A and B are shown apart, each in its own frame.
Chain A
Amino acid sequence: MKDDELLARVAEAVKQEEESVDPRLDAFAAGEIDEKAAREALSGAADADAVLAAYRPLDQKTRHTIVERVLADRPAARPRRVLALRLLLLGAPTAVAVAAIVFVALLPPGGLPDYSDELMAGDATVRGTATTASTRLHVDSRLEWVLRPASVSPGHIEVQTFLLKDGVATAWPVTAEISEQGSVRMVGTARSLGVPAGELDLVAIVSRRGAAPEDWRTMVEAARESGGVSGAGFRLFVRRVTVHE
């Protein structure tokens, strides 16, 4: 058999295999048609269940697993070890009632340096000594939260902020100042910053452009317990506060 004849037969075999699959199954995998329509495409085939199982679109959880595995396999995307270290809360009785300083020593992923956060609440009545403790402050007390890089961080930095109350997350539209060195600062009173009364978590994610995780809520507990978590190009900080009127 000559090369051309062999090539033609192999090409025909590939073509027939491709044509043996109803294009509606591809549409099913892409989520463009529903399972009922896909089943119709199989017109009662004996192995319809297996075919549908193979083509049924992979769910978000599976895709998330893929993303995490890809990022984890990349040297720049490996989760960094949180090494240390928290210095917490010295309560100065007046001006700075509570100061929480948390250093999170991190290897720099994605070009983002180590960051530490410092929460200052101008209400001296209650102070916390651990990251998981709630810091109490009056609604008109000064509230200042600063996230500082361990070294100058050239390049674009962005910050996302959220409020997490009773398990419900809402965007926290606070104005965050970002310095040229990469520091992030939010300052005002609880009221002016739009922090409502009650106990809730303040969440801030510092990241390179687009590197903030969408699934940050799964990291909140770890952030509370360890003073912050890091990922590929982002740092996540969580502080619990109780605002009273």
Chain B
Amino acid sequence: MELSPQDVDAALAGRRDATRRLVDGLTPVVQARVARILLRRRRAGRDIRQDVQDLVQDVFVALFADAGRVLRAWDQRRGMSLRNFVGLVAERLALSRLRTHKRNPWTEEPVDGLDVRQSAGDPPEVEVASRELVRTLADRLREELTPLAMHLFRLLFIEERSVADVCATMHMGPDAVYAWRSRIGKRLRRIAHDIGSEQTTWEQTPKRGRR
């Protein structure tokens, strides 16, 4: 089901059929993103089905809240599909809920660590600590970045695309892309600092765990 900016406008105008179409069209990606986030951070004893349902509903409410402020931020010209945009919103909300425990008592306790390559010579516990910190950083960054900024992060750092390529995809000038790149780096550094304040070991642990 293709969804267009016109579909979004119609739903934001309160049209029932358009709202239904949007919910039907976006529920799979919202559910999948929420499920992925929850499953990797789940704890025994939780009804995951119920938690997924609740969060999916909350994502849609967030999208439409405040006269659709979040949904209106989607700009097709930035090279991001509506599904991708909404998926990022879903991840952001899910991570936020997990961290703040506002609606969900799931913890951030990892069930299975990320498969970060282990460096020779690092004591295992150091590497585990490092992986967990990196994952905490990743979660917090995804929670704080807007969908647009997260999309830029993806293009620049996950897909490692060139600035020229990103400029073409996002319809931005190089200066704007570099500015975003710098801003994301600063944001990450600030998050790292905050986590360091919370955990006190951050300043040492990455160095000890450096590959």
Contacts and interface: CB of A to CB of B under 8 A. Distances in A.
Nearest to A64: B20
Chain A at the B interface: SS class: helix
B189 A3 contact: yes
A53 B50 CA distance: 9
Interface in A1-51: 1, 3-4, 6-18, 20-21, 25-26, 29-31, 47, 50-51
A233 interface: yes
Interface residues of A, number: 57
Interface in B137-168: 137-138, 141-142, 153-154, 157-158
Interface stretch (A122-130, A167-175, A208-216): A208-216
A234 interface: yes
Contacts of B138: 10, 13-14, 17
B118 interface: no
A11 B14 contact: no
Contact of B14 (A7, A63, A74, A213): A74
B153 A55 contact: no
Contact of A29 (B16, B28, B67): B28
Contacts of A29: 28-29, 31-32, 35
Nearest to A51: B39
A85 interface: no
B79 interface: no
A73 B61 contact: yes
Interface string A45-68: 001001101111110001101110
A62 B53 contact: yes
B134 interface: yes
A173 B162 CA distance: 59
Contacts of B61: 69-70, 73
Interface string A194-218: 0000000000000011111110000
Contact of A13 (B17, B57, B134, B185): B134
9 contacts: A13-B137, A18-B36, A47-B39, A54-B38, A54-B48, A54-B49, A63-B27, A67-B23, A74-B14
3 nearest A-B residue pairs (beta carbon): A11-B157, A54-B35, A30-B28
Interface of A: 1, 3-4, 6-18, 20-21, 25-26, 29-31, 47, 50-51, 53-58, 62-63, 65-67, 69-71, 73-74, 76-77, 109-110, 208-214, 231-234
Interface of B: 10, 13-20, 23-24, 27-29, 31-32, 35-36, 38-40, 42, 48-49, 52-53, 56-57, 60-61, 64-65, 67, 114-116, 131, 134-135, 137-138, 141-142, 153-154, 157-158, 184-186, 188-189, 192, 206-207, 210
